[in-house]
Structure 1
C-alpha cells in the first residue's frame, strides 16, 4: 500500500522544512518509501513563466503571445531567478553547478525554439496563434521539472533512492494519452525500494493546460493516485483546512475541520477556496480514495481527511467562507411569469459569451445570476441581454457571497441563527440561496460587508457551537 502526496510551490520554496517535516522527518533510514511525491514549481516561478495568477502581470508566455519583444528579457530574468533558488539550496547538498546546467539547458532550448517559431511565422503561411497552446505548455513544464530535478539531487545526496519521474515531455516527440503516459512512467518502479519525485506537469495528447490550465499539478496528482490505486492522497499545504480564514477571523478562533467529504470540497472549490481542484477529485472519489489535507509545517498533526462517505455525527457548520468581486446581474420582467424557457434564453447568452455563474436566485418575475466580476465578456453579455429583453429592467450590482458549509446541516435553526448573527452585526442580507440538500447556505451581501459578515457568521455558527 502506498500514498501519493502533493507539495505546493510555497512549501517547495522551503525545501529544508519539507525534508524535515514531510519527506524524511522522523522516519528511520530505509522507511522512506511506498510514497510518490508530486511537486509544484517553486513559489513565483510559474507566474514568471506564464503570467501572475492574481495580478495578471505578464510573464514570458504573456509577452510572447502579445508580440512583446520583452519576452527574451523576461526569460533571462526567470533563468536568473531559478539559478538564485539553486544557490539557496547549496546548504542542503544540491549540486548547484549541475542544477544551473539543467536550468540553462531547458530555458536556452525554449528560447531558441520560440525564436525559430517566430522565424517560421515571418514567412506568412503560419500564424503564431495556432502554436500558442503548445508554447504555454512547454513553458509551464519547466517550472516543475526544475523543482523535481533539484529534489532528487538533494535526496540522493542524503542516501535516499529517489527517482526522477519527468512527465514534462522534454524533447519527446510522441503525444500519448494522459493515462498511458502515467502507466508507462510507473511501469517497473518498485515503490517499496525507491521514492519517485514526479513533475506536477504532464505532457499528454489531451493537452493538460488546455483542459485544466493552472490546476494541472493536482490533476497529475489525482491521475497517479487513481492509476496506481493509492491507499490515500495527501496534499501538503502551507495552512490547515480550517473553519475560516485565520488571518481574518483570528488564529485562536478558527478550528481545524478534521473530517469532511467530497461534497463539501466541491462547494469550497466553487467559491475559489480549493481543497483540491474539483476536476481532480472526481476519479479519486469514484474509487473511494480519501484525500488528507495537511499543514506542511505541522507534521505531527493528522490534518483533515476528505472521504466519499463522511457525514458529521452531530449537525454542525464546518466552514465559513465566501467570495468577493462578484457582479449580480438582475433581470426583472413581469412578462416572464408562467413563461416556459425564459431562463433558458438567459443561460444561452451566458454560454455564448463563455460565462459561468456562481449562484442564482429566482422568483415570479426576477432572475439574478451572480458572476465573477473579472469575467472579460461580462459587459458585452449584459448588453446582449438588454437587446434581447427590451421590456426587462436589467441592473448590475457589485456584491459578495458568504457561505456556511457542512456535511450535516439538516436540522431546523441554522438559517435563523445565521440571519440573527448577520443582523446583530448590522449587515443587510440582499438575497439567500440554499438547495434542499442543505450542504451550503449562501448569503448575498454588499461587497463592503464581506469581512464583517465572515466574522459574524463564524462567531454565530462555529465559535458558539461545541467541537464536532
Structure 2
C-alpha cells in the first residue's frame, strides 16, 4: 500500500486535476495498491478564512466570497465530469454541502463571532469539497474510487485549530475502515474529529500529516507527497536561484529543514513515518517522472556534509545577562520554565561558556511577553542589579546549515563564517548542538537573502560563483567592458565556474536595475527606455538595499562626485574596481581611510588601471614590497596620451594636429589640458608613491609644465586648440632642440626616495624611454634586488580596450578572492 497526497497547488485548476487523474490511472493500471489524500483547491482555505472574518465583523461582503467559492466548485464539476449521472449527483451533493456552509456563515454574521471550534468546521468544507469531486472524477476515469471523510477515522482532542491526534484510536479506526473498503479511498486531508463528532483540524499543512497517519495505520510501503516543486531543495528557490533538489535525506535532516522554514514538509508529518520507518517521497505533480526527494532512515556517509540551507525569516532575540548568573545552578531552568508557563515557544538557544548570558530566539509577536515573563521570574535579581533587564533585538533572521555528515568533516563552521564575513554579514548569535546536525546563525533580517546565496555557493557551488556588478559609466571604457563581459561570460562560466551578472547600470542621464541580470546584448536600449533619472545617492542606496552576495561596484568615470561615495560603498561590504584616480590621489588621510575600511570590511578596493591602464604596474609594485624588496627609485612614462603625442611629434605634423588626433582616438581626456599639464601624470606617481608607503599629498609632487600659460588659461577646449595652433613655432623648437642632440621628448615622472617630480625631458638612446612607441607606457623600478638592471614594465598605456581589460581582470581577481 502506498499513500499519496496532493496539495492545494496541485488541484488548483481543472486541468491540473486531469493531470493527477492520469498519474493515478497509471498507478492503478500498474497494479499498485494506494490511497490518496487531497487538500482543498488552491487558495480555498484562505478564502474560507477571509469570508469567516468578514462575517464575524458584520461585513456582508462575505456573501460574495461564498458565492465565488460555490461557483468555483460547480464550474470544476462541469469541466471535469462528462458523465451526466455523475455530474448531476456531484453537483447536487455540493449544493447540499454548500448550503450548510452558507447557513453557518450567516450564523457567524449574526453573532459576530467565529470561534476556533466554528472555524475548524468552516475550513473542513474546503477538503470535503475537493476530495468528493475528485473521487467522482476518478470513478469516471475507471478507477474504483470512494470518498472518505477523514473525520470518520482520525480522532483527536478538542484543541481546535491544531488538534492533537489520539494515535491508538486513530490507527485502529484506519485499519478497520480499510479492511472493510477495498476500493481506492479518496481521503480529505487536514480535518479530523474529536469526541462527540466535533470537527477539528490538524494545523496548516495538516494534509501531509493526514497522509502520514494513514501510512502508519496501514503499515504502508511508502508515502508520496505530491506538490509543485521537485522535492526538497538545497535552499528556498524564491531566494536562491541556483537551488536544486536533494535526492536523499534522513528523517532528522528533513525535520531540521522543516523547522527552519522549508515549506515542502509539514513537521508533524515526519513523526509517524519515522516511528514506522516508512520512506517518504516528495514529488512534483507537474514533473511526475522526476524522482524528487526520498526521506528515510538511510544516511549516506559519503554524501555532502551539508544537505540544505534554510532560514526563519523573522525572529526576535532575547538576552538575559548579569554577574548573578555565573556558576548559579538552575538559571536556565528558571528562564525556560517561565517561558513555558507563558506558553511561548523557543526557536533557538545559545549560551557562552562564561555563563554570563543566555540568548534565545522567539517569534516577534511573543517577544514582549517573553521579556515580561523572564523579568518577572528574575525580579529579585534585577532589583539587586545582579541580573540585567532582558535585552530584546528585533528584525533578525535565523539561517541554518543542515546535514548529518557535518560531524565527520572538520572546518564546516569555518567555511560558514568565512562566507558570511566575505559578504559583510555579522553573526548576532550562534548555536550548534553536540550532534552537529545543524549550525544556526542569527543575522540581520535584511541580510537573509544574501546569506542564503553566499552559503549556497560555498557549500553546493564551491567551484561556481556569481558576481553581481553595479557599473557606472558606459562611455568608451564602460561600453567596451560590457562588450568584453558579454563575450567572455560563457568561457568564465564553463572554465572558471564564475558568472558575471550586471545588475545595475548607469550613464550620465539614466540608470537601470535588474537583480536577475541585465541583458548585455541590448543594454543601450534598456538605458534609453529607462524612466529612472541618474541620482548617485539613489544608485548607491539601491545597491545597498538589494544586498546581493559578491557585489562589486565598477566606476568607469573620472567623476569626483562618484568617488565621494566610495567610503559608503566599501562600508556596505561592496568591493570596488575603478580606473578613476580621484579617490586614490585625493588627500592622503582619505586614501588611507578607504584602504582601512576595505580591510576592515574584508572587501577589495582595486585600482590597478589608475596607473598604466591594463599594465600590471601596481600589482608588480605590491609583489616587490610584499616579498621584502626595497624600492629606491621609480621612473615612468605614465601617460598613454602624452606618450602617443611625443612619439608622433616629428617636426612636420603640427603639434595641435597631433593632440587633436590623440583626442579623437580616445587617448586624452575630453579636455587635453588635463593630460598635457602633467596633472594626470602627477596623480599616477602620487599613487605609486603611496603604494610604496610614502605619505605624499598632491601638493608634494613638483610638476614642471611645458604648455604656455596662455594655453592653460584658455576659456574653452576650442580656444585651447586655437592657442596651440598659434604657438606652433614654440612646440617645433622643443622638438628641434632635442632632435639636434639626438634625443626625443618624454614626459617622465620620478619618485626618488620621498621626492616626486613630473616634467618633459629630452632622453637619448642610452635611456630606456628612448625606444617607446605608440601609446606605450613604461615604468622602471629600481630596487635592492633590481639595482644593476632595473625591472621594466612596458606596454599600451591608453585606450578603451586595454583599460577595460584591466578592469575586467580586476573583477575576476576580486571574484577569486571571495572563495
1:41 counterpart = 2:40: yes
Please tell me whether residue 394 in structure 1 is matched to residue 390 in structure 2. yes
Counterpart check, 1:463 vs 2:455? no
* Worse-matched range after superposition: 400-409 or 19-28: 19-28
Could you say what secondary structure the match of 2:204 adopts?
helix
Aligned partners of 1:105, 1:259: CA distance in 2, in Å?
Answer: 45
Query: Could you tell me whether the CA contact under 8 Å between 1:155 and 1:162 is conserved in 2?
Result: yes
The residue correspondences of 1:312-461 to structure 2 (distance < 5 A) are 312-363=301-352, 364-375=355-366, 378-387=367-376, 388-389=378-379, 390=382, 391=385, 392-398=388-394, 399-410=396-407, 411-461=409-459
Give, in angstroms, the shift of residue 203 of structure 1: 3.0
Specify which of 142, 162, 167 is matched with residue 159 of structure 1. 142
- Asked if residue 233 in structure 1 is aligned to residue 216 in structure 2, the reply is no
Q: Distance in 2 between matches of 1:211 and 1:159?
A: 32
Q: Which residue of 2 aligns with 1:195?
A: 184
1:249 pairs with 2:256: no
Whether the 8 Å contact between 2:151 and 2:199 is mirrored in structure 1 is: no
1:237-316 correspondence to structure 2 within 5 Å? 237-240=227-230, 241-250=232-241, 253-316=242-305
Q: Alignment partner of 1:360: what SS?
A: strand
Moved more, 101-110 or 235-244: 101-110
Secondary structure of 2:147 counterpart:
strand
Confirm or deny that 1:178 pairs with 2:160. Answer: no
Report the Cα offset of residue 312 of structure 1: 4.1
How far is the alpha carbon of 1:78 from its aligned partner? 2.7
Structure 1 position 159, deviation (Å): 2.1
Q: TM-score, normalised by structure 1?
A: 0.84
Determine the structure 2 residue equivalent to 1:125.
none
Q: Using the alignment, how far apart are the partners of 2:198 and 2:77 within structure 1?
A: 30
Q: CA deviation at 1:18?
A: 4.5
Deviation at 1:425, TM superposition (A): 1.2
Q: 1 CA distance for matches of 2:237 and 2:101?
A: 41
State the distance in 2 between where 1:444 and 1:116 align. 46
Cα distance change, pair 210–316 in 1 and its aligned pair in 2 (3 A): same
Change in Cα spacing, 1:351 to 1:209, as seen in structure 2 (3 Å) is: farther
In structure 2, relative to structure 1, the CA distance for the partners of 1:29 and 1:8 (3 Å cut) is closer
**Offset at 1:143?**
0.7
CA distance in 2, matches of 1:113, 1:427: 52
| Aligned counterpart, 1:112 | 103
SS of alignment partner, residue 26 of structure 2: coil
* Aligned equivalents of 2:411, 2:391: Cα separation in 1: 33
Q: Is the 8 A contact 1:79 1:104 kept in 2?
A: no
Deviations 1:388-435, CA, capped at 9 Å, x for gaps: 342313211121111111121121011111111111111112222111
How far apart, CA to CA, are the structure 2 residues paired with 1:180 and 1:284?
17
SS of equivalent to 1:432: strand
Q: Is the contact between residue 12 and residue 43 of structure 2 (CA under 8 Å) also seen in structure 1?
A: no
Measure how far apart 1:272 and its partner are.
3.0
**Cα distance, 1:163 vs structure 2:** 1.4
Which of 50, 63, 81 is the matching residue for 1:93?
Answer: 81
Q: For the Cα contact (< 8 Å) 2:320–2:357, is it kept in 1?
A: yes
1:103 corresponds in structure 2 to 94
Partner of 2:424, secondary structure, is coil
2:552 — aligned with what?
none
CA RMSD of aligned residues (A): 3.0
Which consecutive unaligned segments of at least 5 residues does structure 1 have?
A: 51-57, 123-127
Cα distance between partner residues in 2 of 1:33 and 1:282:
25
For residues 105 and 457 of structure 1, the distance between their equivalents in structure 2, rounded to whole angstroms, comes to 54
The answer to which structure, 1 or 2, has the higher relative contact order (CA under 8 A, 6+ apart) is 1
TM-aligned CA deviation for residue 76 of structure 1:
5.1
- Counterparts of 1:209 and 1:281 in 2: how far apart (Å)? 23
Instruction: Note closer, same or farther for the CA distance 1:347–1:209 as it changes in structure 2 (3 Å cut).
Output: farther
Is 1:69 the equivalent of 2:58?
yes
Give the count of matched residue pairs: 435
Question: Structure 1 residues 92-101 or 295-304, which shifts more?
Answer: 92-101
Moved more, 284-293 or 97-106: 97-106
Shift of 1:90: 3.2
TM-score of the two chains, using structure 2 as the length reference: 0.50
1:226 Cα deviation (Å)? 0.9
SS at match of 2:406: coil
Provide closer, same or farther for how the CA distance between residues 406 and 379 of structure 1 changes in structure 2, counting only shifts above 3 A: same
Deviations 1:245-303 (A, max 9, x none): 222221xx222100001101111222232443322321221111000001111111111
Say which one has the larger Rg.
Answer: 2
Conserved in 2, the CA contact under 8 Å of 1:178 and 1:205? no
CA–CA separation in structure 2 for the residues paired with 1:315 and 1:100: 52
Quick one: distance in 1 between partners of 2:152 and 2:339?
A: 37
Q: Given that residues 21 and 299 in structure 1 are in contact (C-alpha distance below 8 angstroms), is that contact kept between their aligned partners in structure 2?
A: no
Q: Secondary structure at the match of 2:42?
A: coil
Assess if the C-alpha contact under 8 Å between 1:83 and 1:103 holds in 2: no
Work out whether residues 193 and 199 of structure 2, in 8 Å CA contact, stay in contact via their aligned partners in 1.
no
Residue deviations 1:34-58 (CA, integer Å, cap 9, x gap): 11110000111111223xxxxxxx4
Q: Distance in 2 between the 1:116 and 1:244 partners? A: 45
Q: Which residue of 2 aligns with 1:55?
A: none
Matched, 1:8 2:7: yes
Give the secondary structure class of the aligned counterpart of 2:192.
Answer: coil
Cα shift at 1:384: 3.6
Q: What secondary structure is seen at the aligned counterpart in 1 of 2:361? A: strand
Alpha carbons of structure 1 residues 133 and 43: separation in structure 2 relative to 1, 3 Å = same
